[in-house]
Amino acid sequence: MESANINCLNLSDMCIMDMEAFEFTYVEKKGPFQDSARAAWIELFGFIECIPQSNIRFQTGLRYVDSALEGDSKYVYQAGLSLIDNSQECNGNLLKRVVPGGRFAKFTLTGPYSQITEAYALAMSVIGKNNLVIRNEFCMQRYVNKNVPESELLTDIYIPVAQ
């Protein structure tokens, strides 16, 4: 497999894996990812207070470019949680859905969240060089750790690929 470690971007080599579907509680925003992601997380963090930390399996962001649309509305970002007990209700505009499973190309970014867009571009390049076909599904990033120096943040990036 093609390596993804280039210059100052610390992105792991690609790993192909299968992921099971999971229930997702989230906030959705549309627009350029650098704006919509931040807005979605700010809104979601306002709701997290009503969810016990012991009920949160993981935090994840989903991103999708809807090629059927034009302009900024084609960029869809969902910031959300996988909960152990998904029956928990919070006041507000939280949505729920099942994120489909399947095969994914996984990369791990070590470093600041500001490098996620660049990491996606590099990951897409590696996928192309390995002749993999990207499925028409949301890409995902899972935030592995927190409360560490920015240079030590770990973000797993999952890009849906065909079987």
Domain limits for position 153:
1-20+101-163
- Total domains in the chain come to 2
CATH number, position 111: 3.20.80.10
Q: What is the mean pLDDT of the chain?
A: 90
Question: In Å, how far are 48, 67, 85 from 45, measured between CA atoms?
Answer: 5, 29, 18
Same domain assignment for residues 30 and 85: yes
Q: How far is Cα 159 from Cα 63, in angstroms, rounded to an integer?
A: 10
Same domain assignment for residues 94 and 157: no
Last residue of one domain, picked from the residues 99, 127, 152: 99
Q: How far is Cα 57 from Cα 117, in angstroms, rounded to an integer?
A: 25
Pairing of strands 102-110, 15-19: antiparallel
Sign of CA dihedral 109, 112, 116, 121: negative
Same domain assignment for residues 86 and 123: no
Q: Is 161 a residue whose pLDDT tops 50? A: yes
**Dmax of the chain from CA atoms?**
46
- Could you identify the residue written with the tokens 């470690």? 5
Could you read off the pLDDT of 106-139 as tens digits, one per residue?
999 999 999 999 999 999 999 999 999 999 999 9
pLDDT of residue 1: 47
- Per-residue pLDDT band for 91 (boundaries 50, 70, 90) equals low
pLDDT of residue 94: 87
- Which pairs from 68-73 meet CB under 8 Å and 24+ separation? 72/30, 72/31, 72/32, 73/30, 73/31
Q: How far is Cα 65 from Cα 14, in angstroms, rounded to an integer?
A: 22
Residue-by-residue DSSP string for 46-109: HHHTTS-GGGEEEEEEEEEE-TTS-GGGGEEEEEEEEESSTT---SSS-EEEEEP-EEEEEEEE
Could you read off the pLDDT of 25-43 as tens digits, one per residue?
999 999 999 899 999 999 9
Q: What is the pTM of this model?
A: 0.88
Which residue type, as a one-letter code, is found at position 14? M
